[in-house]
Structure 1
């Protein structure tokens, strides 16, 4: 157990192996919607929904070290934007994505400017309050949101040229958006912005001494994570085809936190694993007891925060490191030694 708790670096897997695995996964995702039943396609689409929102929270919490329990608000902004624009007004779905992302980014930036001057504990309390008031706020704005009754959404049938059923078409849209969000997250995490975020998370005084603008960086990251959540909300509307105020309360906020904690804080692939956990495990547990999903979230958070802080990715790395190290050791010993004459000639 102690070995599983120790933080581990990324596995030294050759690049060609990652490429082969990526191509195989991409081919499977292209083929699976065509042969899977409608219910399975809907579940996979919900994995994409949680993955997109979780990737945004990964940037804020996993990379920058700021805890937000209020991203359900920005998720709701995206969901209702799509419901109103594409469902009620008949606007094209791509327009809803653009408007929701821009609106989520703007609201996240405006909210983050004053909130990010608070201590991490105070920020978590403020965002918790935002999560608690979100359902009531939606119901108050009944002239747009239809109050407690919510909004039913029909975005129309897929294009005739696609030859796809509606659930297949929606899943392909979700997969495309999730792939774009994944690549954007990787680019931000591995670039200059990623180094600044890690610096603010690990050692704020040193990062500011080295020239990192703490307030500007935090505001940008908070706004970007809010935009991710809003885009996830648009996907949610496409998949569920209904939005209601009670879906975006504290339980949803805990589900988003579960995504990044179970997968592994600071791990981009871990977000995908966390999204799979949040969608499938409570679904299986509800077959035993309808109230088991909340218990699953609570137990998972406790176990992965205190017992396995590296998440599923940390467990896989702890198991895989001895295997990969042993493989590299055998490979190095299997190679014949280079004669001294050849070594001298190379020099």
Structure 2
């Protein structure tokens, strides 16, 4: 099969497009014919070796954890899916090797759910990681309730934009940090935007004088420090970007594959609660360009790579 891989840590230049061995399908996995795979910041962080302390790399590594595609072959123990099923997945294992930037991926069933019927393969590929992150942080870490005020950092980004939509669905008021050029976009999601930079705390207090009930941090650093000071009494703080959140009495959260949560996101997408904004798409062979764009950190919504397949003749 064709795919993207890297044989050593490094910049986007280490990504190579070429022939790779076909995946082996274990008993509890399915072979997925990849239609699209999303790019996430964790992908280039893995590629540069920043996660080497917690994830072994078995080179050559195929990058990518997000996928949408079609089941080709179920494993011998699989009853959840059959050939022809359209699926999405957050295909993360506890090591780096068998990613989604390829024509096929062998995905454990615990990482998959059916694809939302109303989303394209490109849109659907952008949902799993950011959707699971937003859902699990809001529901499990912050336990957001109706009537509360939630501050979401980087509200125009992949995780932030889904978090805004979900928090609004849960009945919360949402304030979101975003650059001025993204204010109309986040307003359209139901968020009250505030500008980044000097004076952020004052701008948030102007909207929530009594403090915010929960903060969803996707940035870390100074934003995290400011967020701790903006909490109302009994307010909760969670970060996916900075482990220092624990020192502020908050929770550091790492998203995990969960088929039940992913299916719930599929249902919410079909109900029109959650949408995925595509920033740009690239063909698989240009995955390095997709990585470069994502690494700039100014993306609205999601960057996705696509796998082109010839249409099989009828009959």
**TM-score, with normalisation over the residues of structure 2?**
0.28
Higher Rg of the two aligned structures: 1
Higher strand share: 2
**TM-score, with normalisation over the residues of structure 1?**
0.26
Higher helix share: 1
